[in-house]
A and B are shown apart, each in its own frame.
Chain A
Amino acid sequence: MSELPLNQEATDEVAHFRVRRECFLDAEGAVHGELPAFAQDRDAVVELYRAMLATRTFDEKAVALQRTGRLGTFASSLGQEAVGVGVASAMQPDDVLVPSFRDQGAQLWRGVTMEELLLYWGGDERGSDFAGPREDFPVSIPVASHVLHAAGIALAFKLRGERRSAVCLFGDGATSKGDFYEALNLAGVWSLPAVFVVNNNHWAISVPRVAQSAAATLAQKAIAAGMEGVQVDGNDVFAVRHVVEAALARADAGPTLIEALTYRLGDHTTADDASRYRDDAEVSGHWKQEPVARLKRYLTEHFSWTKREEEALLQSGRARVEAAARGYLETEPLPATAMFEHLYEELPAGFDAQRSEVVARVTHGGRERG
């Protein structure tokens, strides 16, 4: 009895989806389509370039500090500078960034200082006590669990009737985790003002993107959550900024998932050796598409960017990084008792003995461990 309508249904398409990819600036720096207004403004483009270059310079310095024993394990964003800078440059100051551990490009644009970043990676909690973006979250080391925080922050904005958005960055590996799906699902069904950005750098430590999911795109994971999913060339800072701006502009109507296609040119972290699991040929192929050179080519061709300007920008970036490194290295560690200071707003009485033990050991036991 039910066979006929069932068969009938099976042949009917009940839903149809598409995922588009945005790109303005290809690997050769050639322009496709009509550029957004900011990309036609020399100063605005130089600002993006300055930020990407500074991020790269910062990463280089951080890796060097780690290699010389002066910084802890560090995750370089080499090759992915356009994602962080593109995303953050699209945001308003009162939006909230919920970053992963490779998003220094976005954090720096938001006003987190290089010295704070170095303090954090150098093992000091003060590095997450940002003087600038006070409401931005510290980086999430656990993968994907922070996507839910962005949903919660977006819910706070919605409840208060504020026109602000939460922007969350995470990697391709994060899209395999339940927290990611749970956050998207909830943000979708509640129409939360959130933008979720997958920084698809194609490697989750040693596991390539193709081994992470059979889905043709990660952007299409938005579809199951009832939101728009868009793919963007993550090495094209114009495209990244543009799609995030568009997503933020319509955030009061609901969230967006953006998959930014980029490539991790460096190791996963300074504790990793990527040569164990991927070929040099693959990496060198991706060097031809990296975002900084691409933007420089555009600047040169469209805005007569000069060698002198380039050198000046590099110099100022280096000076900024060096000053931050000095500041970080000169910062004395917190006193040992600091670990008790912000555990609770007010330390419960039961902690007196443990805290006193630390005080006694530091005072009478000689050196304080740094």
Chain B
Amino acid sequence: MAEYTLVEAVQLALSHAMEHDERVVVLGEDVGIDGGVFRATEGLWQRFGGDRVRDTPLSEAAIAGISVGLAAQGFRPVAEIQFMGFVYPAIDQMVNHASRLRTRTRGRLSCPMVLRAPYGGGIRAPEHHSESTEAMFAHIPGLRVVVPSSPRKAYGLLLAAIADPDPVVFLEPKRIYRSVKESVDDTGEALPLDRSFILREGTDLSIVTWGAMTVEALAAAEQLAAEGVSAEVVDTATLKPLDVDGIVASVEKTGRCVVVHEAAKTCGVGAEIAAIIMEHGFLSLLAPVQRVTGYDTVMPLPRLESHYLPDAPRIVDAAHRSLSYS
């Protein structure tokens, strides 16, 4: 079975979807002959032509807005926003239109579109290129927000997102775009949306996270194992809607939870997860839920970003805080 990086798996999923569903069109800035600034659409333009793989004028509002029109007409647009820091002009379309077209027409029109964007820090990128503002989208009724954490997840979840009859914001952790290769079977098999995945089983503590932070969480779990602490790592994968049952089941088993995300702390998705655990798993808790997140500061430029981004030592510290409640 061939091995792929995460970004190659994105390309593989797009290829598969375009090959098997003529309604799928890819659009965005530089997605055509250039194959996307991260090469996520590499070779698609050559293979499927400029009608289905369209370089748009430089306008994020237009990329999202025409996707709404295309989707309402029965196409399955997969729109690329070059970096999450540039997604904000598209938010109007996602919030005011894509997310509610089905509701406001009682199902007469719908919006099966995917808005893809690389997100997150850790690659020493310029200003505005490293943000993690997934919570903005996760707050919006009618949207799905999906974050893959590995090549296989990227492949399966992107296929699911494209096949989904409703709008999906698909955020790709660019820090791990090329960090690992994994075998991916190009069978077109989608992974379920709205479901979390256990990346490592454990009994003493749950680390709940997504995207690139799964790497840090797994490293932290390894360190904790050396101390004799069995940490379970839960990859939420879909942030909207969250897999409440999956997250709560893990915490009910371990009694302790550390939520990790690189987005700023206040009103981050971690706050929602902590609240869900309070609502559904309170009596299982042996310690308050700990949060390890980016700080409530502006994402610093690359020289300081490693101080901003959560890493394994910070997660281990949080685990220790949790374990100190006995």
- Could you tell me if A344 and B166 are in contact, using CB atoms closer than 8 angstroms? yes
Contacts of B65 in A (CB 8 A): 145, 147-149, 151-152, 179, 182-183
B110, B165, B241 — which one has the most chain A CB atoms within 10 A of its CB? B241
Q: Are A178 and B89 in contact (CB under 8 A)?
A: yes
Residues of A within 8 Å of B104, CB to CB, are 125, 128, 138
Known A-B contacts A148-B61, A156-B69, A349-B194; A186 and B56 likewise in contact (beta carbons under 8 Å):
yes
Residue B266 at the chain A interface, CB threshold 8 Å:
no
Q: Which of A98, A149, A345 contacts B165 (CB 8 A)?
A: A345
In the complex, which residues of chain A have a beta carbon less than 8 angstroms from the beta carbon of B286?
Answer: none
State whether the Cβ of A69 lies closer than 8 Å to any Cβ in chain B: no
Q: Report Cα–Cα, A166/B73, bound state, in Å.
A: 11
Kindly name the residue among A140, A146, A339, A348 whose own CB sees the greatest number of chain B CB atoms within 10 A. Answer: A348
Q: How many residues of A contact B (CB 8 A)?
A: 46
Contact A151 to B66, CB < 8 A, known contacts A344-B166, A345-B165: yes
Taking the closest CB of chain B, its distance from the CB of A340, in whole angstroms, is 9
Cβ proximity bits A142-170 to B, threshold 8 Å, 1 near / 0 not: 10011111111111110100000010000
Is the Cβ of B244 less than 8 Å from the Cβ of A155?
no
* Interface residue ranges of B17-70 to A (CB < 8 Å): 25, 51-52, 56-57, 59, 61-62, 64-70
Nearest-Cβ distance from residue B220 to partner chain A, whole angstroms: 27
For B110, the chain A residues whose CB sits under 8 A away are 345
Closest to A350 in B: B241
Q: Which residue of A lies closest to B106 (CB)?
A: A129
CB distance from B209 to the nearest CB of A (A): 19
**Residue ID in chain B nearest A124 by CB atoms:** B106
Chain A binding surface SS class: helix
A350:B61 contact, CB within 8 angstroms: no
B145 shortest CB reach to chain A, Å: 12
Q: Please tell me if A196 contacts chain B, counting CB pairs below 8 Å.
A: no
Interface string of A177-212 (1 = CB under 8 A from B): 011001101100100000000000000000000000
Q: Flag B156-167 by CB within 8 Å of A: 1 or 0 each.
A: 000000000110
A361 within 8 A of B: no
B102 x A185 contact (CB < 8 A):
no
A156 to B27, CA, bound (A): 13
Q: Given the known A-B contacts A128-B105, A129-B107, are A185 and B70 also in contact in the complex, defined by CB atoms under 8 Å?
A: no
A147 to B241, CA, bound (A): 30
**A182 to B62, Cβ gap below 8 A?**
yes
| Contact of B75 with A148 in the complex, beta carbons under 8 Å | no
Answer whether residue A126 sits at the interface, using C-beta atoms and an 8 A cutoff: yes
| Residue B72 lies at the interface, judged by CB distance under 8 Å to chain A | yes
Cα A106 to Cα B56 with chains together (Å): 31
The answer to whether A153 and B69 have CB atoms under 8 Å apart is yes
Whether a CB of chain B sits under 8 angstroms from the CB of A130 is: yes
Residue of A at shortest CB range from B66?
Answer: A152
The stretch from B92-100, B255-263, B296-304 touching chain A is B92-100
Check A137 for interface membership: any CB of B closer than 8 A. yes
Residues of A within 8 A of B69 (CB): 98, 148-156, 166
Residue of A nearest to B142 (CB): A343
Chain A residues near B67 (CB-CB < 8 A): 152
Chain A: minimal CB distance from B3 (Å): 33
CA distance A126 to B108 in the complex (A): 10
Q: Is the CB of B103 within 8 A of A343?
A: yes
Q: Quick check: B66 and A155 within 8 Å, CB to CB?
A: yes
B275 to chain A, nearest CB (A): 13
State whether the Cβ of B109 lies closer than 8 Å to any Cβ in chain A.
yes
CB distance from A331 to the nearest CB of B (A): 13
Q: Report which of A128, A156, A183, A346 forms a contact with B74, defined as CB distance below 8 A.
A: A156
| Contact call B62/A156, Cβ cutoff below 8 A | no
Q: Contact at A344–B102, with CB atoms within 8 Å?
A: yes
Give Cα distance in the complex from A150 to B72, angstroms: 11
Determine the chain A residues whose CB is within 8 A of the CB of B71 once the complex forms: 152
With an 8 A cutoff between CB atoms, is A351 at the interface? yes
Q: Is the CB of A142 within 8 A of B96?
A: yes
Residues of B with C-beta under 8 A to A278: none
CB within 8 A of A148: which of B68, B103, B245? B68
B75 touches A149 (CB 8 A): no
Which residues of B approach A to under 8 Å, CB–CB? 25, 51-52, 56-57, 59, 61-62, 64-75, 77, 89, 92-93, 96-97, 102-110, 141-142, 144, 165-166, 194, 241-245
Name 23 interchain pairs, CB-CB below 8 A, sorted by A.
A125-B105, A130-B108, A134-B108, A138-B109, A142-B96, A145-B96, A149-B66, A149-B72, A152-B71, A152-B77, A156-B74, A156-B75, A159-B52, A166-B69, A182-B65, A343-B103, A343-B142, A344-B144, A344-B165, A345-B165, A346-B165, A348-B241, A350-B244
3 nearest CB pairs, A to B = A152-B69, A148-B65, A152-B66
